[in-house]
Amino acid sequence: MDKVVAGIVAKALDGGEITAAEIRTLFGVDWRSEEAFLMQHASRKMSEATAKGKGEVHGQVGVDVGPCPKNCEYCSFAAKHGVFPEARVQPTAAIVENCLGLEAAGANAIYLMATAAVALPDYLKIAGEVRAALRPETPLVANVDDFDAAGARALRKAGFAGIYHCVRLGEGQVTAIDPRVRVRTILAAKQAGLLLGTSVGPVGPEHTVEELTATTVLTRDLKPVNSAACRRINIPGLPLTAHGSVKYGRMAHILAVVRLASGYDIVGFGTHEPNGMGAMAGANLFWAEQGANPRDTSEATVRGWTVERARHLLEEAGWEPLAGPSVMFGGGQRP
């Protein structure tokens, strides 16, 4: 066992904040090594301690399909890819029905996802209907385009408990969004009292230890209530697809490093798509999706991950699926 790695892991487990240099060291370890398994075990212990052994499944409903001007290289909605040439917002009744279906299946929080082509006032109108239909204690989470302080206040007023927002790997290079804009949005949300869920991703095999470390530190500094590490799901024919996919075994190592770096302040730690190796390595948050999403070319996909299936996977990895509102998003305390 490498004593340096063991020392860094012990520091994290003892509640110390590991440095960027230490994070780099952990990312640099071979994912099939004894040290990588030590990290995964420690990551799991950390999640067990913060979440008291519970796991959560959050449901996400896609509001629209169509060309998105932000043109993220890995996304099926990017206008330049032409996968969805026509913009279409799903009927509100269908969105509400999907949200209610996820809630009835046991989702602990509901996310409403829209591309950057949907204007915030239109999104808020839909969200109002969803909020009114859901149980009052079910946290609603916004996954939307960047917004300012007024937008953040409007989201909070509409009954959102939090946002899912990330500074993605390669932000500004493989996307048309300045990373500073992403950070500004997150700070505005927090200022308005919205809780932050975030992640390090989408990870591809081409990402260097340096890139992973920088995003891990940035993500930690934003002080989310839950974080995650997610691999890129490749859409056939898109340019980044040529790099291939990170293996779930390597993702388990990556998520363990991000989890250890995030510390005890976050309750939950996720990975996407749900997988047993990630769940064993400390991921206790999975997402189930309805409607379209950026990793698919179909308008109405659940990508095979229903709430029930994700809950079952948590159980298989020794987590107890939480019943009721997400603890990670405030435990049902409405804004």
Residues of this chain that interact with ligand SF4 (CB under 6 A) are 68, 70-72, 75, 77-78, 115-116, 175, 294
Closer residue to ligand SF4 (CB): 47 or 175? 175
Closer residue to ligand SF4 (CB): 100 or 116? 116
Q: Shortest distance, CB of residue 82 to ligand SF4, whole angstroms?
A: 12
Q: Shortest distance, CB of residue 198 to ligand SF4, whole angstroms?
A: 14
Yes or no: say if 253 and 260 are a contact pair by the CB < 8 Å rule. no
Q: Shortest distance, CB of residue 68 to ligand SF4, whole angstroms?
A: 3
Closer residue to ligand SF4 (CB): 35 or 146? 146
One-letter amino acid for residue 124 of the chain: L
Closer residue to ligand SF4 (CB): 274 or 294? 294
Residues 6+ apart with CB under 8 A from 295: 75, 76, 233, 235, 303
One-letter amino acid for residue 245 of the chain: S
Closer residue to ligand SF4 (CB): 69 or 249? 69
d(CA 222, CA 40): 23
Closer residue to ligand SF4 (CB): 50 or 98? 98
HSE-CB of 37 using CA atoms within 13 angstroms: 4
* Bridge partners for 110 per DSSP: 59, 140
Q: Shortest distance, CB of residue 285 to ligand SF4, whole angstroms?
A: 20
d(CA 51, CA 49): 6
Q: Shortest distance, CB of residue 94 to ligand SF4, whole angstroms?
A: 19
Q: Shortest distance, CB of residue 115 to ligand SF4, whole angstroms?
A: 4
Query: What is the DSSP code string of 168-180?
Result: -TTTTTTSSS-HH
Closer residue to ligand SF4 (CB): 14 or 236? 236
Q: Shortest distance, CB of residue 182 to ligand SF4, whole angstroms?
A: 10
Dihedral in degrees, nearest 10, Cα atoms 51, 53, 54, 60: 70
One-letter amino acid for residue 242 of the chain: A
Cα 177–Cα 76–Cα 209 angle in degrees, nearest 5: 60
Q: Shortest distance, CB of residue 149 to ligand SF4, whole angstroms?
A: 20
Q: Shortest distance, CB of residue 78 to ligand SF4, whole angstroms?
A: 4
d(CA 70, CA 294): 12
d(CA 147, CA 118): 12
Closer residue to ligand SF4 (CB): 116 or 217? 116
Yes or no: say if 39 and 29 are a contact pair by the CB < 8 Å rule. yes
d(CA 100, CA 111): 12
Query: Cα-flanking dihedrals φ and ψ of residue 142, to 5°?
Result: -95, 130
d(CA 269, CA 55): 9
Closer residue to ligand SF4 (CB): 63 or 327? 63
